[in-house]
Amino acid sequence: MTDLNKLTLFQARQGLKSKKFTAPELVQSCLNRIKSLDKKLNSFVTIVEENALKQAKTVDINLPLGGIPLAVKDNYLTKDIRTTASSKLLDNYIAQYDATTIDKLKKAGAIIIGKTNLDAWAHGSSTESSDYGPTLNPWNTQHLPGGSSGGSAAAIAADETIISVGSETAGSIRQPAAWCGVVGFKPTYGRVSRYGIIAMKSSTDSPGPICKSVDDAATLLGIMSGHDPLDATSIDEDPWKKPESRQNLNGLKIGLPLSYFPSQIQPEVKEAILKAAEIFKKFGAQIIELPDVLDPKYSIAVYTILQRSEVSSNLARFDGIRYGHDRSFFGTEAKRRIMLGTYSLSAGYYDAYYLKAQKVRTLICQDFDKQFQKVDAIIGPVSPTTALKVGASKGQAMFGELQDMLVEPSSIAGLPGISIPCGFDKIALPVSLQIIAPQRREDLVYQIAKLFEDNTDYHLQRPTL
């Protein structure tokens, strides 16, 4: 069987169990794809070919992910595998333990084939700020894959792996998934442990899957989730379980926020979202326009202040004494964020900036609570545009915040959300839809997304490489 790398998780599991192919053959297929494409795309920072093939020979394929190749965003600690956060400061850092999520995935039988590229320290939404060079979008290599999980999203879109994981702080799962035309599932804050993931903005960091289908992402999320005593912000619940899918949306009220269609929105993006709303309506959902949702522009200011403040604190540990190189290895973007964050937290400015931003964050959370009294879920665009051209982020200090402005509010509020393909623009770049639900309602996000995917074929389209 050829092109095993193109299989979904579900298809790969079926093939392994029925012995149509072996785990080493599946892993080798993905590694071959990486060898043929990655000099062009730069999705990976590190490849672990020898170790992956060795594990594939002995893996128990009866495990939930037994024999499945996994690409890991390079801000997850992976024991005995280099972890750089795409910064040369950590160029030679070998982690001594696995992040909790990685430990769970490995115990489920997943085989790490490599670590994927990201914006250095996850600071960005383009993957252009990586110290190892930018990742390119598989749909059009003159365009960006988004970020900061751009490497993971590009690897899935290019069929370099079967499954991957990313992390989201203000859109870094959903936005690159959208620009690369794949599925990105951001869980409720605390649903998946942050332990062992290099912290960026600890109060919103949310690890999650980036996959080829809604079912694949939901399956992966179930394995990744669950309470972790090593993470004080971890929700004290058993692992999330994927619910039964729905045949219709009868009785569901789905909100369409008018403020999620800003003046700068690309016309094809708006058109695709409104077409998606009609599909939901066809299956029995009531589409309710929400004219009073808090304008996402307020999230930009809130996120900028809070994120920089937490970055200033979290990056203080990288002093070159215990691990990594000294602080002269920080890139321009990291230095800019450290300085702005330190300023926001300093005496005389704390109340004016940081404290005020926290108060507005509370207002954003309260606004979602108010909207969810009217509707069960909310839909809208993931990003105002499709993938922008390479170089678009250069000299644009607020590039990430502007591209993430429609997903930042739900990340700030700790809500679950998903990005799923829903169309293409006039130059064949993917357009994606986001679905947001109240905290801990991943079940609703999954059911709505699954029904849409089952009745469209956007997720089946793949770039020609």
How many C-beta atoms surround the C-beta of residue 62 within 10 A? 10
How many C-beta atoms surround the C-beta of residue 158 within 10 A? 27
- Helices marked H in 252-375: 267-282, 297-314, 332-345, 356-371
Catalytic residue among 43, 86, 126, 148: 148
Alpha carbons within 13 angstroms on the beta-carbon side of residue 166 total 40
Written as one letter, the residue type at 148 is S
Rounded to a whole number of angstroms, the distance between the first and last alpha carbons of the chain is 20
CA distance 455 to 246: 12
Task: Please identify which residue in the block is written with the tokens 């960006």.
Answer: 144
CA distance 195 to 24: 30
Per-residue burial over 222-248, b = 16 or more CB atoms within 10 Å of its CB, e = otherwise? bbbbbebeebeebbeeeebebeeebee
Are 55 and 31 within 8 A, CB to CB? no
> 199 is written with which tokens?
């912290």
Q: In degrees rounded to 5, what are phi and psi of residue 92?
A: -110, 20
Residue 440 to residues 30, 145, 188, 415, 451, Cα–Cα distance (Å) = 34, 29, 6, 8, 20
Q: Is 187 helix (H, G, I), strand (E, B) or coil?
A: coil
Per-residue burial over 252-271, b = 16 or more CB atoms within 10 Å of its CB, e = otherwise? bebbbbebbbbeebbebbbe
Catalytic residue among 86, 87, 126, 172: 172
Catalytic residue among 29, 43, 73, 411: 73
> 380 is written with which tokens?
């809208």
Are 313 and 415 within 8 A, CB to CB? no
Are 251 and 284 within 8 A, CB to CB? yes
Query: Does 73 participate in catalysis according to the annotation?
Result: yes
DSSP state for residue 329 in the 8-state scheme: G
The DSSP bridge partners found for residue 44 are: 116
Catalytic residues: 73, 148, 172
